[in-house]
Amino acid sequence: MVGEMRRLERATPSSSSRVPASPGAFSEALFERMKLVDPGVEDLELYEFRYALASATPAGGDWSSVILEDPTVIEQRVTSRRFYAALEVRPREGDRIVLDERVLNLTRMLLVGLVSGAYTIEWVKHHFYFDIRGFIFLHRNQYFTPEIVAHLGGKPYRTFEPGQVRFERCQSIGYKEFAAANAELDGLFLDCVRRLIEVNGTPIILALAGPTAAGKTEIVERLRTALVADGRSVTSIEMDNFLTDRDYREEKGIHTLGREAIHLGHFTRSLAEIRRGQAIQTPRYDFISGESSHDLQGNLKPGAAPIEVPPGDIVFIEGNFPFLMEEVAPQIGIKVVYLTDDPIRMKRKWKRDI
């Protein structure tokens, strides 16, 4: 399969002149191809598919006007930080919010490439997933690169039946269905955490990170419940409360997830103290005003109140990737990255937001 994927990635796209001339013939051919890309398309009628396709149709309905690029050029673009930095979140045409032109052009290329045969279904599915609701292609993150797989020992610790395959036709996914599909995997995760706690002792700090809608909140809640049932005391530190004032971050152009965005000294001291079994006081961040309870020197502002955090056997850090900071990582006893495939996350987020 790896050899086949390399061959596909080196393929050169054929001309879009092989695209059917009439919009009706194009949409009919695309409808059949897209059923192989996303099984959910099979649940649509052709007229429904055409209605959704209208949002991506070029001016005048001329799909042969779409210029195709080599697959390697496309791959380089969608893995470039510059591509995403240039995207407009809510571009407007008059009083309408529309798609960013770069995302729209990418979707058009992939649709035309599928119909013309310039891009194979295997290549498209390997690098992208199709969101029927938005009728756009989104880049699929490759979380386990060859380098990461090699770092983790070259093979999985344990493998399971792919229970999430059942969601391919779904447009949204509730947590109950998601939890049922992951039950065996999550059970092993809980068991591994328990064993690590036994080996490393307590107090111990556990940080669990991952992308939006991966299931972090739910698995942490399940882990809390299980540990309390084991007779362990549990407490938590919210990393967002260590954010500095929003005005300061915006003035300096500091990214919210960067080490410069937080009261780093206060954060590291708090972790060291709670690891010794001591109660701590953390800053308090107001998301409405965008202000911290502490100034940039770490002093409590007049009239502000810190947050009291009691000690515990297990200390959860709630936040995004705290162990990427070299000052913080050594203090974290258990580091977890909880990942879920991109299409599943999108469907979970859709269910959660409606």
Domain spans, the chain: 2-139, 147-353
Q: What is the pLDDT of residues 128-186, one digit of tens each?
A: 999 988 899 999 988 888 999 999 899 888 888 888 888 888 888 888 888 888 899 99
The chain-wide mean pLDDT, for the chain, equals 88
205 pLDDT higher than 70: yes
pLDDT in tens, 250-281: 888 877 667 889 999 999 999 999 999 999 99
Q: How far apart are CA 114 and CA 123, in angstroms?
A: 10
| DSSP structure string for 32-70 | HHHHHH-GGGGGS-HHHHHHHHTTTPPGGG-GGGPPP--
pLDDT at 350: 66
The total number of residues shown for the chain amounts to 354
* pLDDT, position 319: 79
- pLDDT (0 to 100) of residue 140: 92
Q: How far apart are the first and last CA of the chain?
A: 39
Q: What is 147-353's CATH superfamily?
A: P-loop containing nucleotide triphosphate hydrolases (3.40.50.300)
The predicted structure's pLDDT at residue 351: 56
The model's pLDDT over 297-342, given as tens digits with 9 standing for 90+, comes to 999 999 999 999 999 999 999 877 788 888 899 999 999 988 888 8
pLDDT value for 276 = 96
pTM score, whole prediction: 0.76
**What pLDDT was estimated at residue 85?**
84
pLDDT of residue 6: 39
User: What local confidence, expressed as pLDDT, does residue 95 receive?
Assistant: 79
Query: In what helix (H) or strand (E) does residue 317 lie, and over which residues does it extend?
Result: strand 314-318
Tell me which of 19-23, 242-246, 310-314 is least confident. 19-23
* pLDDT tens digit sequence for 87-128: 887 778 787 778 889 999 999 999 999 999 999 999 999 999
- Mode of pairing for the β-strands spanning 234-238 and 136-139: unpaired
pLDDT band at 7 (very low <50, low <70, confident <90, very high): very low
The pLDDT of 235-244, averaged and rounded, is: 93
Q: Which two tokens stand for residue 234?
A: 């549990």
Instruction: Please state the rounded mean pLDDT for residues 196-203.
Output: 95
| Amino acid making up residue 270 | S
Exposure string for 143-166, b = 16+ CB within 10 A, e = fewer: eeeeeeeeeeeeeeeeeeeeebee
Does pLDDT of 249 surpass 50?
yes
SS3 54: coil
pLDDT tens-place string over residues 45-86: 999 999 999 989 998 889 999 999 999 999 999 999 898 888
Q: Which residues contact 324 (CB under 8 A, 6 or more apart)?
A: none
Q: Is 298 in contact with 265 (CB distance < 8 Å)? A: yes
Query: What pLDDT, on the 0 to 100 scale, is given for residue 2?
Result: 36
Taking each helix axis from N to C terminus, what angle separates 71-78 and 101-116, rounded to the nearest 10 degrees? 150
Closest CA to 207 of 340, 287, 91, 314: 314
Top-confidence residue, 89 or 201: 201
pLDDT of res. 96:
78
Residue 352 — very low, low, confident or very high, per pLDDT cuts 50/70/90?
low
